[in-house]
Amino acid sequence: MKHLLDTAALTRADIEELLTLTDSFVEVSSRSIPKVPALRGRTVASLFFEDSTRTRLSFETAAKRLSADTMTFSVSSSSVNKGESLRDTALTIEAMGVDAVVVRHRSSGAPHRVASWIGASVINGGDGWHDHPTQGLLDAYTLRERVGSLDGCRIAIVGDIKHSRVARADVHAFATLGASVTLVAPPTLLPPSVVGWPVTVRHHLDEVLGSVDAVYLLRMQNERMTEALVPSLREYTARYGLTVARARGLGDDVVIMHPGPMNRGVEIAPEVADDRRAVIVDQVRNGVAVRMAVLFRLLGAETRSDRRPLELDPSGPDDTGEAEGSAPGREPAEAPRG
Ligand code: CP
């Protein structure tokens, strides 16, 4: 695997391999020195043309925990403001010597374009409404951690499906792992067609909540709405928000998820976001380990002719010289294939 551009390109075996690799990096992240030398000498650049807190910081943390060097591009302080194109920006960053580029862009397909222009690996960090593969992986990992297996797991994804790359990534990741996915939204917040999507569509949240194992709330994406698609946020909350009253009616084991950033009081009540059934913080925590797994999978087995072979010895010292901070416990040094 050279790039990670589309969740839909991942088979069940691919996803399971990445989630198993993630187990190893969760273990690494729990160490007192959460660092291994696996990607020493590699450079990972963040090319973010759209705001992000979780994805950008967790990719940078993941790269550093793998001992890669990092390079951060922020559009607000870049030459994009002088008119530099996406292609020229990507070529400029590649010329500085990078092995992987994480791309976030408001336009669907931008990471694919970057991958066609440069030789480095490209990871889609979220493009328009299209996809957000590492979000799909971290959500699948977090849910699996709670419920054991996604086979037969009943998941409701609620809200602004139309504008949501997270929904598209999660539908594929969850369904590929055997879950039964129901989309819950008013017709105006659904895509024009979901033909081919492995989902059931419902319009009334209260008819669905009694028979789910997990509820996944989506953010109301006001910045992507060009028309009034709901009468008001108050009405949206009344019909589709996970209010305190609705959460009270959920079973003790029902998992509550949200990709962040949240609009507390709109799609999720503040108290519900902090409920013990909510795994929103776990999603963020697991995001680092999932992104370590993805970077390791893409770069860990590569040996470029202009570089020395990668440091993959599990007993080798890390940058700190501490033996503890070497490779993950479950020998991911041997795990990558291809
Ligand atoms: N969930 C998510 O992608 O969050 P950020 O926009 O903060 O990266």
From first to last of its 338 residues, the chain has per-residue pLDDT tens of 999 999 999 999 999 999 999 999 999 999 999 999 999 999 999 999 999 999 999 999 999 999 999 999 888 889 999 999 999 999 999 999 999 999 999 999 999 999 999 999 999 999 999 999 999 999 999 999 999 999 999 999 999 999 999 999 999 999 999 999 999 999 999 999 999 999 999 999 999 999 999 999 999 876 655 567 888 889 999 999 999 999 999 999 999 999 999 999 999 999 999 999 999 999 999 999 999 999 999 999 654 444 444 443 444 444 443 333 344 544 443 333 32
pLDDT of residue 168: 98
pLDDT of residue 308: 44
Q: Is 299 helix (H, G, I), strand (E, B) or coil?
A: helix
CB 168 within 8 A of CB 131: yes
Using CA positions, which residue lies closest to atom 3 of ligand 1? 55
**CA 10 / ligand 1 centre spacing (Å):** 21
Using CA positions, which residue lies closest to atom 4 of ligand 1? 54
Separation between Cα atoms, residue 239 and residue 202, nearest integer Å: 12
Using CA positions, which residue lies closest to atom 5 of ligand 1? 52
Report which ligand 1 atom has the smallest distance to the Cα of 50: 6
Instruction: Give the residues surrounding ligand 1 with Cβ less than 6 Å away.
Output: 52-55, 126, 135, 259-261
Residue tagged 């020998």 (tokens): 331
DSSP bridge partners of 124: 103
Report which ligand 1 atom has the smallest distance to the Cα of 126: 3
Mutate to test the pocket of ligand 1, among 46, 48, 54 (most ligand atoms within 8 A of CB): 54
Separation between Cα atoms, residue 1 and residue 14, nearest integer Å: 10
| List of E strands, the chain | 43-48, 69-74, 100-105, 121-127, 154-158, 180-184, 199-202, 214-217, 255-257
Separation between Cα atoms, residue 268 and residue 246, nearest integer Å: 10
CB burial string 70-100: b at 16+ within 10 A, e below: bbebebeeeebeeeeebeebbeebbeeebbb
**CA 58 / ligand 1 centre spacing (Å):** 10
**CA 139 / ligand 1 centre spacing (Å):** 12
Using CA positions, which residue lies closest to atom 6 of ligand 1? 52
Looking at residue 2, what DSSP letter applies?
Answer: -
Report which ligand 1 atom has the smallest distance to the Cα of 260: 1
pLDDT of residue 233: 87
SS (HEC) of 21-55: HHHHHHHHHCCCCCCCCCCCCCEEEEEECCCCCHH
Prediction pTM value? 0.90
Angstrom distances, CA of residue 132 to CA of 150, 169, 232, 243: 19, 6, 28, 27
**CA 135 / ligand 1 centre spacing (Å):** 8
